[in-house]
Amino acid sequence: MTLLKTALAGAVLLAFSQVNMQHAYAEEDEEKDAEKDPTLSETLEKQTAYTGFLDIYRDKENGKGLVVLEESDLNKPFLYMASTVDGVVAAGTFRGDYRQSRLIEFRRYFNRIDVIAKSSSFYFDPDNAVSRAADANTSESVLVSAEIAHEEDGKIAISLQDLVKNESLHRVAPMPPSENADKVFSLGGLSDDKSRIASITNFPENTHVVVDYVFENNTPKVSGGSEIADQRYTTISIQHAFVEVPESDFAPRRDDPRVGYFTNQVDDLTTYDVVNYKDVIRRWHLVKKDPSAAVSDPVEPIVWWIENTTPLEWRDTITNAALTWNSSFEKAGFSNAVVVKVQPDDATWTADDVRYNVLRWTSSPNPPFGGYGPSVAHPVTGQILAADIMLEYSFLQGRWLASKM
């Protein structure tokens, strides 16, 4: 009887043990479920949204961001442009400096998204059989390879920091000189902790991200000038612009080497001509309202904005000077091709927005120029997409003072 009671008690204890273990396992599973990473939708709900051409979301606490791509964004060209929002002349860059424009693509490689730089320097006649070997001995460049952070319903999220908070997409620091390096101001190394994603602006056809890149050089040998508060720490603000490649009936115009133009250089690798240039001219996309007229207003004129940094006493002079170009466009068949407007003081847009062509003014401690007219054109067609004119106050001031002597 005693043995029976003992066996019964053991069975009861075993049963209770099994029940308790199952309960414990159930609680452990619940804890694991609770610890699962949030979905993309759950993550984005808690972040600040910057929606537009490329949707970007930013964490409200730590500022980290996600770039959310659609499947349709992959394997197609985008125009990428880098420009200086603010820099220092000693480091080789300055406000309004158009630094680079190129075609890029986002491509998937298993669990990563690669940013690929494409070359547009060569042309192959599609009717020539050798065009089938158009990719021979040329190299596309993998600028960035970012791990996919989230994926859901055709949306793919990658880290904004992996994309822009480094020098992979675009080199910010100048290349070191080959000679006399110890006599040139050196930025030093990029600080990841101090560098910041300063702003994000989004539009239907373009997305801009401004990054403040902070460089550290604890033992600078050459001064960068009084414009740097502390020679050990230099900030250069760069705007990364991702722009939709325009689709239009713009027809490229080939360069005639007997005449001087700003061009995009292209070499034809399927010609027997000694001179194999197939360069395209950089020019505006003007279309006549009345195609049958010898001279017609354009459908969309070239609009220049006088930046609100412009001294008031010079605005009329600048307007008249810009409008003088209309006489040249009339000879090309366009009336009122150029329009000039003044940026309001309370404008919500800035000259960093590629949708605006801006006549800009700065007053720098050591200006590298008196006037500077950069433009960005489509690498393949030559269509001008954005242009600025930088004018330096101190340079004009010197000319004015000299005229009074």
Convert the pLDDT of each residue in 317-373 to its tens digit. 999 999 999 999 999 999 999 999 999 999 988 887 888 999 999 888 888 888 888
Q: Within a domain: residue 133?
A: yes
Residues 198 and 228 in one domain: yes
Residues 113 and 230 in one domain: yes
Q: Within a domain: residue 33?
A: no
Residues 141 and 287 in one domain: no
Residues 216 and 296 in one domain: no
d(CA 89, CA 373): 17
The stretches of 307-392 forming alpha helices (DSSP H) are: 315-323, 326-331
Q: Encode pLDDT of 27-39 as tens digits.
A: 555 555 556 789 9
Residues 295 and 232 in one domain: no
Residues 79 and 186 in one domain: yes
Q: CA-based angle 21:25:30, to the nearest 5?
A: 150
Task: Decide if 398 contacts 363 (C-beta within 8 A).
Answer: no
Q: Within a domain: residue 102?
A: yes
Q: Within a domain: residue 207?
A: yes
| pLDDT band, very low/low/confident/very high, at 12 (cuts 50, 70, 90) | very low
Give the structural domain span for 196: 40-244
Residues 293 and 377 in one domain: yes
d(CA 380, CA 28): 59
Taking residue 231's Cβ as centre, other Cβ atoms within 10 Å add up to 19
The pLDDT score that the predictor gives to residue 160 is 98
Q: Within a domain: residue 10?
A: no
Q: Tell me the two tokens of residue 316.
A: 């009329």
The DSSP output letter for 110 is T
Span between the terminal Cα atoms of the chain, in Å? 127
pTM, to two decimals: 0.85
Q: Within a domain: residue 160?
A: yes
Residues 267 and 355 in one domain: yes
Residues 215 and 314 in one domain: no
- Pairing relationship of beta strands 233-244 and 77-86 according to DSSP bridges: antiparallel
Q: Encode pLDDT of 200-252 as tens digits.
A: 999 888 999 999 999 999 999 999 999 999 999 999 999 999 999 988 889 99
Q: Within a domain: residue 7?
A: no
Residues 50 and 120 in one domain: yes
The overall average pLDDT reported for the chain is 90
- Total number of domains in the chain: 2
Taking residue 185's Cβ as centre, other Cβ atoms within 10 Å add up to 20
Q: Within a domain: residue 17?
A: no
Residue type, 16: F
Q: Tell me the two tokens of residue 133.
A: 């070997």
Q: What is the separation of C-alpha 313 from the centre of its chain, rounded to a whole number of angstroms? A: 34
Task: Decide if 106 contacts 113 (C-beta within 8 A).
Answer: yes
Residues 111 and 239 in one domain: yes
Domain boundary among 244, 272, 291: 244
Residues 297 and 398 in one domain: yes
